[in-house]
Chain A
Amino acid sequence: MSIKLSELPAEDYFLPGHRACAGCGAAIAIRLILKVAGPNTIVASATGCIEVISSLYPENAWGVPWIHTAFENAAATASGVEAAYKVLRRKGKISHDKVNFLAIAGDGGTADIGIQALSGMAERGHNVKYICYDNEAYMNTGIQRSSSTPYGAWTTTSPPGKAIPIGKREVKKDVARIMVAHGIPYVATASIGYPLDLMRKVKTALEIEGPAYIHVHTPCPTGWRFESNKTIEVARLAVQTGMWVLYEVKQGRLRITYKLSKLKPVEEYLRTQGRFSHLTDDDIAKIQEDVRKRFEEFVEGYRQLGVSVEA
């Protein structure tokens, strides 16, 4: 299956007038995802950037039915909607066919606050597609670190200083891998730097019955400290340097969807962003080493989760 740019529909279901910062990566992701999902979609959104920017009462930027739910339970709300749909169908009270159920949350609403609801949704096997747009911190409240913030990043709650010169000391939580360990039918990582790949993955997820999880890397000019026109470039560099790996695990088979024969140096990615401006050459060498090691052990790590690997 592939997606062709020339064949994409003109209609949008995430509409202008929303209050995202200029150059918002998450807004691009949500717009493209809804373009694929189409009008027959119900969305549950956790609190987070996308919720705040799209629903300043009485305005909303959604062209499909949309529910704002609390920070921790986008997955639980979407599960409930899906279960209610099934019951109403069985009782013959509604006739809609092929409704897509999406849960959308940021990295805070997924990796920190929403992970138990997400895990429950996956375990119960609801036919919900969970989208995490990962801007690597709590951005709309003022750039606080989340468990998805990468090692060495500045945030307002991981400021580099005399005592802790590195910034954030902990490594980024790998939620996609946690979801692979759940054994659900479809897990993928994506990036707005590769929009057609992102849209293909959403389409694939929607066509598979059962829970799916898609983790989208969405750079944030405000929180990462780069110019608003560089959003896509930064997203692409994350993939090309190996800081973000694009892959999918479909029915227990792993496929790396953007294969790299050679990694660009991570410095090219880190130096585009003010949040890494305090890093010394030694810090960058350590991050480079971590990326290289992760890349080498990537496939083996998934084999250990019981996933077979496609060549």
Chain B
Amino acid sequence: MIREGAGFRELPPAAIVPEPGTSLKNKTGSWRIFRPVVDREKCSKCRICWLLCPEGCKIELEDCFETDLDYCKGCGICAQECPYKAIEMVLEEGSSIA
């Protein structure tokens, strides 16, 4: 792991990042204005939301797909594409739209 505030002598050459997937540190959920809320009764686990999520942040649970709110940017594709209309986009607390 590259240490925060590391000087150039400590860094690997050629701007190499020696580990995969270090972007997981960057919690993009803070961008969200609308939050997807799933109706567990309606979800049939068809995997469409999981397939089409640009973040890949849909998590399979026993009875439905939930959203990893650490990363969900609230684009709303899952709610739009859900064939069962099981997902609703709800305004985040503290957010407002003009």
Contacts and interface: CB of A to CB of B under 8 A. Distances in A.
B86 to A, nearest CB: 15
Interface in B6-39: 15, 17, 20-28, 31
A59 B76 contact: no
A15 B26 CA distance: 11
A221 B56 CA distance: 18
Contacts of B79: 229
Nearest to B57: A16
A271 B2 CA distance: 47
B76 A23 contact: yes
B76 A228 contact: yes
B23 A54 contact: yes
Nearest to B56: A12
A98 B2 CA distance: 31
B20 A59 contact: no
B80 A230 contact: yes
A59 B17 CA distance: 7
B51 A195 contact: yes
Nearest to B23: A17
A17 B24 contact: yes
Nearest to A29: B54
B60 to A, nearest CB: 7
A24 interface: yes
Counting contact residues on chain B (CB < 8 A from A), the size range is: 35 or more
Given A17-B26, A28-B77, A58-B2, 16 more contacts: A8-B51, A16-B28, A16-B57, A16-B68, A18-B26, A19-B26, A20-B54, A23-B75, A27-B55, A56-B23, A56-B26, A59-B23, A60-B23, A63-B21, A227-B76, A229-B89
B21 A228 contact: no
Contact of B52 (A12, A56, A195): A195
A231 interface: yes
Interface string B46-82: 1110011111110010000000101101111101110
**Do most interface residues of chain A lie in helix, strand or loop, or is the interface mixed?**
loop
Interface of B: 2, 15, 17, 20-28, 31, 46-48, 51-57, 60, 68, 70-71, 73-77, 79-81, 89
B17 to A, nearest CB: 5
Nearest to A195: B51
A192 B52 CA distance: 8
Contacts of A15: 20-21, 23-24, 56
Interface in A1-30: 5-6, 8, 10, 12, 14-25, 27-28
A233 interface: yes
Main secondary structure of the interface of B (DSSP, over half): loop
B16 to A, nearest CB: 10
B62 to A, nearest CB: 14
B23 A5 contact: no
Given A58-B2, A60-B20, A61-B21, A17 B77 contact: no
Contacts of A62: 20-21
A104 to B, nearest CB: 16
- Give the top 3 A-B pairs by smallest Cβ distance, nearest first: A229-B76, A17-B23, A23-B75
24 contacts: A8-B51, A10-B60, A15-B20, A15-B23, A16-B28, A16-B56, A16-B71, A17-B25, A17-B27, A18-B23, A19-B26, A19-B28, A22-B76, A31-B54, A56-B26, A59-B23, A60-B21, A60-B22, A60-B23, A62-B20, A64-B20, A195-B52, A228-B76, A229-B79
Contacts of B68: 16
Nearest to B73: A22
Nearest to A53: B23
Among B21, B27, B53, chain A packs the most CB atoms within 10 A around the CB of B21
Contacts of B52: 28, 192, 195, 232
